[in-house]
Structure 1
């Protein structure tokens, strides 16, 4: 749970009465942004994503984005914002160092969550939208895999909701739908650290396997 500056002061009001606030509690006191706990064991995604890859990806790369972001936002106007607010505001301000770390932290929180519960079937209005916009799940998966191959270097491939229509976006580096006004439905990391230990240079094979074996399409339905 993230405790912001106002909550901290309210909870500590009696103890602080008649005293001077510590320099650590300033107009821009840094909020402790906390990496979301992995919702399953590291070996739960194997063999599609190995426990070794999950350990490095979640424990090193994802954790590293939070660590760097918490350092960067100290004593700035971002210090008391939520992670999502930092992403959108740093994007609008073209504050690239902050955006890169915040977007990657948020993207990865979303990435791990979408696998929780396994490859359940799509439901309701989302299922209808998939049939309307892609001709069914096979068409959707084909589009995502093809788009992943167009991302040059590092980046993400996203299934998004754009008004009421579904679309697939290939975004470079820390690209996120939050920064372009789209609703994220599914996001597949195509940075090499997400797949290289298991698939070497076979990026599209990795993306296809993730879509077939790991994505919880009921979760996607809820996002839609």
Structure 2
């Protein structure tokens, strides 16, 4: 069955939300000569990237590896700008939180109530973005596409009747997600389910184990597809890494 996960700051375990939230990070210092009348102060060098518990994982393939389904520039910006920003912002928020910094990002998302209220939403958005994207890159491959394999294939057929029916329902979840968010295949209480989350919420916040996820934020497809999200969703199936999805499914069975 289709579910949604609430994106409001509290409570954290509701399953439905249709709320937009957007954040952008833009900090640029420009020094211009003022002539000989005023003494020019030395230009400040850019602030170093914040250090902290999280690091940006490298893409497991080249920027152009998923062409033509996902274009080179989208991959470059998506990884090097958007994902990097989530990592840096999360590290900034955790700079004065040594106990929280000891947790894995997944552990932190599962127990956000431990975080001070003043930074809770920021952690939710940025740690969630880091976790989601770290999975997303691995869920795709230049050798992907086709249909699921092994245990996951059997489970999908058992739960949804056929791969075609599963794909149809997954596409609906991706298309019906209003604004920014994700479509997911998760394992919940030993059962595969299709769900969607708003913004950068993760299924693990609701004790669900991700098996497959699709980013439907506009930054994931707009350079190539503009407002044609259905075309992006269709093309994405050509690069799905079913081997990785199957490995997540088997791990999820042990956790669930």
TM, length-normalised to structure 1:
0.81
Distance 1:145 1:176 in 2: 18
SS in 2 for 1:158: strand
Quote the residue 1:3 is aligned against: none
RMSD: 1.7
* Corresponding residue number in structure 1 for 2:127: 102
Q: 1:91: Cα distance to partner?
A: 6.2
| Higher mean C-alpha displacement, 116-125 vs 146-155 | 116-125
> How many angstroms does 1:120 deviate by?
5.7
**Poorly superposed stretches of 4+, deviation over 3 Å:** 91-94
- The corresponding residue for 1:86 is 108
Question: How far has the Cα of 1:123 moved from its partner?
Answer: 2.2
3-state DSSP of counterpart to 1:138 = helix
The C-alpha deviation readout for 1:70-125, integer Å capped at 9, x for no partner, is 11101113122222222222267672111110000110000001113422642222
Tell me how far 1:147 sits from its aligned partner: 0.9
Q: Which moved more, 1:79-88 or 1:162-171?
A: 79-88
TM-score (norm 2): 0.72
Partner residue, 2:36:
none
Instruction: Provide Cα deviations, 1:36-85, integer angstroms capped at 9, x if missing partner.
Output: 11000000011100001001100100111001111110111312222222
Q: Give me the whole-angstrom Cα distance separating, in 2, the residues matched to 1:187 and 1:56.
A: 19
Distance in 2, Cα, partners of 1:101 & 1:220? 24
2:168 paired residue among 142, 162, 172: 142
Provide the C-alpha distance between the structure 2 equivalents of 1:91 and 1:209, rounded to a whole number of angstroms. 38
SS at match of 1:207: helix
3-state DSSP of counterpart to 2:124: helix
Distance in 2 of aligned mates of 1:88 and 1:195: 29
The structural deviation recorded for 1:137 is: 1.5
SS at match of 1:108: helix
Q: Deviations over 1:141-179 (max 9, x none)?
A: 111111112111111001111122211111111121110
The corresponding residue for 1:21 is: none
> Is 1:191 matched with 2:217?
yes
Q: Which runs of 5+ in 1 are unaligned?
A: 1-29
Alpha carbons of 1:176 and 1:129: their partners in 2 closer, same or farther (altered >3 Å)?
same
SS across alignment from 1:78: helix
- The range that moved more, 167-176 or 88-97, is 88-97
2:244 equivalent among 216, 219, 223: 219
- Summarize the Cα distance change of 1:146–1:183 in structure 2 as closer, same or farther, 3 Å threshold: same
2:58 aligned partner: 37
2:192 is the alignment partner of 1:166: yes
**Number of equivalent positions:** 194
Look up the SS of the partner of 2:109 in the other structure.
Answer: helix
Q: Distance in 2 between matches of 1:63 and 1:52?
A: 15
